[in-house]
């Protein structure tokens, strides 16, 4: 798979992206301001159009501006240019969360992005409740055709074992 080329909107923290970029082989992320400073002041649909006409072969745009998904002009131009729009959803004004979402999902996005098809990738945080570890013991028991209580009784620490600090020895 060829490395993808994405423009990165201004809301992502460049120092964090720069450090993480070294570990991302699937894509090159270029802040919009480094492509052309004028792109920081154009409408979103114009930004998409400018990427489409740019000398570099842009795959798309990464943004935290989820309102773009509600704009008819932006979605129409996205369809016409066949770019990929990656939008960190529900990250609010938390650029670190948006960056985490991006780096979690970007390998999959890059693998599935095609230059002949417009794509929209809304990235959402899971925000799930915790998992009860007893449920995991039950699943382990089901896998091994055993009762969770038996597995627990065999593996739990006695009072002395629980009181022992492995770093204090």
Q: What is the pLDDT of residues 64-85, one digit of tens each?
A: 888 899 999 999 999 999 999 9
Confidence (pLDDT) at 1: 65
Residue in the block written with tokens 């016409």: 80
The pTM for the full model equals: 0.79
DSSP state of 144: T
pLDDT tens string 19-45 = 888 888 899 999 999 999 999 999 999
Identify the three-state secondary structure at position 60: strand
| Contact (Cβ atoms closer than 8 angstroms) between residue 61 and residue 47 | yes
Partnered with residue 4 across adjacent β-strands are: 27
Rg for the chain, CA atoms, rounded: 23
Give domain limits for the chain.
4-123, 133-163
- Which regions in the chain score pLDDT beneath 70? 1, 90-92
Q: Where are the beta strands (DSSP E) in 34-165?
A: 60-63, 84-88, 119-123
Domain 4-123: which topology?
Answer: Rossmann fold (3.40.50)
Confidence (pLDDT) at 98: 87
Burial label, 30 (beta-carbon count in 10 A; 0-12, 13-18, 19+): middle
Q: Please state whether 71 falls in left (phi above 0), alpha (psi between -120 and 50) or beta.
A: beta
């Amino acid at each position: 798979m060829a490395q993808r080329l994405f423009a990165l909107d201004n809301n992502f923290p460049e120092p964090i992206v720069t450090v993480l970029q070294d570990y991302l082989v699937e894509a090159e992320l270029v802040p919009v301001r480094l492509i052309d400073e004028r792109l920081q002041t154009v409408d979103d649909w114009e930004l998409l159009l400018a990427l489409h006409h740019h000398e570099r072969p842009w795959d798309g745009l990464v943004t935290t501006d989820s309102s773009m998904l509600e704009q008819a002009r932006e979605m129409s131009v996205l369809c016409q240019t066949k770019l990929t729009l990656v939008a960190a959803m529900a990250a609010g004004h938390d650029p670190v969360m948006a960056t985490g979402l991006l780096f979690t999902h970007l390998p999959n996005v890059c693998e599935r992005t095609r230059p002949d098809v417009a794509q929209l990738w809304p990235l959402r945080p899971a925000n799930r409740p915790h998992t009860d570890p007893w449920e995991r013991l039950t699943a382990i028991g089901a896998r091994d055709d055993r009762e969770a209580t038996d597995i627990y009784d065999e593996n739990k620490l006695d009072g002395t074992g629980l009181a022992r600090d492995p770093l204090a020895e």
